[in-house]
Amino acid sequence: MRLAVDGLSHRYGDELAVDDVSFGIEAGELVALVGPSGCGKTTVVQSVAGHVRPTAGRIALRGEDVTGVPPEDRGISVVFQRSTLYPHMTVGENVAYGIAARGIDPARRDQLVDDHLKLVSLREQREARPAELSGGQRRRAELARALAPSPDVLLLDEPLSALDRTLRIRLREEIARIQRETGVTTLFVTHDQEDAMALADRLVVMNGGRIAGSGRPRELYESPPGPFVASFLGRSNTFSGAISGGAPLRIRAGEQEIELPSVEADVPDGTTVTCHVHPEDLSIRDPDVETALPSIAGRVSRVADVGRRYDVTVSVGDGAELVAEHASSPPAVDDAVAVAFAADRLHLFDRDEGRRVTLLET
C-alpha cells in the first residue's frame, strides 16, 4: 500500500469534520475522494499533505507512519484549486523551483524541466510567464511542477473546478493520460461525481465526515451500498415503501403495490425501505398494456427535451417523482403512465439501518 489513511478524525472546535475515515491507495492507482461541499474532503487531503494535524488517526506512506512528519519531507506533491505558480517566474523556472532544493546538478535539472514540460505539452511555453497562459495551460504547468520532483503521491485538490465544462473535460482526459504515463499514485479530490467517475480507478465517497462507500466507479454506480451513494452517483430518483410480502417480493408504496416476480429480500415484512432506480433503467409504458416487468403507476408532471433524449418526470404519489430517460415521442404532461423497470435494477435500502437490502432470485 503506497498511502494508507487509518482511523482519521478531525475536530474544529466542537465540530467533528472528519469521523473515523480509513482508506488506502495502491502504488500507481488513481483514487478519487468525492463528496458534496463540506463533507470533509479538504480536511482529509490536508491531513495527508501534512498541513492539518488530525485529532486522531494515522497517515502512512510506503508503510511508514508520517503523521508527525513535516509536509516538505513527505514526498507528496499537491496541486490546489487556485493557482500557486509564481507570477514573476517563467513556466520553466516555476517547474525548476519544485526540484531546486534537491541538490540536482543544473544540466540534469534542465533535462527534468524539459521532460515534464513535454509531458504536459507546454514545451513551447517554457519562457512564458503564468499570466500569459490560458487557464488550462496554467493547470498543466502546475502539474509539471508537482511531478518534476517525482513524488511518491500526487494530491489533486479540486484542480478542475474553476474551469468551464469543455476545458474541464479536456483537462481531465489529460490528467488521466499523464497519470497513466507517469504511474504516479494519485488522490484526486472533487465534489463532482462525473469527474470522479470518469477519472478514477476507485472512488471513496464521503458524506458528513464519514465514508459512505468505496469501490470501482461502475460497481458503486450499479450496486450502491447505501442511499447516499445511490443518489450522489447519478441522479436522485427515489421513493419510499414498505416490504409487504415475501416471494414474490411486494413493496407497498403509498396507494400502490409493486410486485417483483422471482425475487426475495433478506428483510422481514413491514421493513420500511428507500427505493432507488437510475433514470436510464426506467421505461415509460402505456398503463393499459400489460407488462411482465414490475411497474409503478403515475402521472407525467414534466417533459424536458435535453437533446439526445427526453427526461420525463412522473409523479408517483406521496410527493415522490421519478425521472425516466426516454428516447423518442415522449408522453404529454398529465398523461397517466406506467413506469417499468427490471427487478434487478431496483436498489432497496433499509431505512432504519441505511444498508442495502439484498435481493435474491427465487
Ligand X SMILES: Nc1ncnc2c1ncn2[C@@H]1O[C@H](COP(=O)(O)OP(=O)(O)OP(=O)(O)O)[C@@H](O)[C@H]1O
Q: Which residues bind ligand X (CB under 6 A)?
A: 12, 15, 17, 35, 37-43, 191
Pick the closer one to ligand X by CB: 18 or 154: 18
H-only helix segments in 184-273 = 193-199, 217-222, 227-232
CB of 190 to ligand X, least distance (A): 9
CB of 207 to ligand X, least distance (A): 10
Pick the closer one to ligand X by CB: 38 or 183: 38
CB of 19 to ligand X, least distance (A): 11
CB of 170 to ligand X, least distance (A): 23
Q: CA 184 to CA 153: how far, in whole Å?
A: 6
Pick the closer one to ligand X by CB: 16 or 242: 16
Pick the closer one to ligand X by CB: 41 or 285: 41
Residue 211, judged by CB atoms within 10 A of its CB (0-12, 13-18, 19+), counts as buried
Of 159, 151, 148, 127, which is closest to residue 48 (Cα–Cα)? 151
Which residues have a Cβ under 8 Å from the Cβ of 86 and sit 6 or more positions away? Answer: 93, 94, 97, 130
CB of 1 to ligand X, least distance (A): 23
Pick the closer one to ligand X by CB: 46 or 283: 46
Residue 295, judged by CB atoms within 10 A of its CB (0-12, 13-18, 19+), counts as buried
Sign of CA pseudo-dihedral 270, 271, 272, 278: negative
Instruction: Characterize the bridge pairing of strands 210-215 and 202-207.
Output: antiparallel
